[in-house]
Structures are given as structure tokens and as C-alpha cells.
Amino acid sequence: MPLTVWFWAAYLMSTDKRGISALLLQRQLGLRRYETAWMLLHKFRRAMVNLEREPLHGKVEVDETWIGGTQAGRAGKPCWSLSPSRNAAGEPDVREWL
């Protein structure tokens, strides 16, 4: 495999916020086999591990972070507060779910 493919794989892996999958890497690099892309990612990830690292402590700043998971609430529905707002007449403005 040409060295330029290794450099492109390293670039794509390090610039993606959420990490890159082997399938996406395979498509981006035009590789024929999924196993080749998986091997590239596996070798880079293994090389990036520092066994002597210490946990973060103190004040830690993080820029452009993506943390997975779903948002609370029902999908497609507005999330109304539990305390009703007041209309112009001072009466509770009761809103119902659609």
C-alpha cells in the first residue's frame, strides 16, 4: 500500500470530530477491502494510546466537542415547561401536546 494512503488515512482520522468508521475510510480512500481500512484504523488507534497517561484534573477546556447520545424529550414534539405561562389577561396559558 502506498505511503500516501497511510497519510490520507491519518489525516481523515484526525480531522473528523466524531471519529471515522472503517467503512467510511474505505469509501474515502477508494480501497477495495473493508479489512484494509479496518487494519489502518486499528494500527493508528493502537499507536495513539499512551499507557502512562494520567487522568485529567483541574480545569479542563474542550473546544468543538461532540458527545453522543440522544436529547431528552419526545422526538418531534415541543417540550413545554411544567409551569404554565400567563397570557395578556393574566390567566394561565395552557398548552397541550399535539
Spell 57-75 as b/e; 16+ CB within 10 A means b: eeeeeeeeeeeeeeeeeee
Look at residue 82 in the predicted model and tell me its pLDDT: 53
Which position has the higher pLDDT, 77 or 37?
Answer: 37
pLDDT, average across residues 79-86: 56
CA–CA dist 93, 47 (Å, integer): 59
- Cβ atoms of 36 and 1 within 8 Å: the answer is yes
When comparing pLDDT for 89 and 50, which is higher?
A: 50
Average pLDDT over residues 47-56: 86
CA 24 to chain centre: 15
53 phi, psi to nearest 5 deg: -70, 155
pLDDT digits (tens, 9 = 90+) for 52-71: 888 888 887 777 666 666 66
Residue 19's contacts (CB-CB under 8 Å, 6 or more residues apart) are 13
* pLDDT per position as a tens digit, 1-45: 899 999 999 999 988 878 899 999 999 999 999 999 999 999 999
Structure confidence at residue 98 (pLDDT): 39
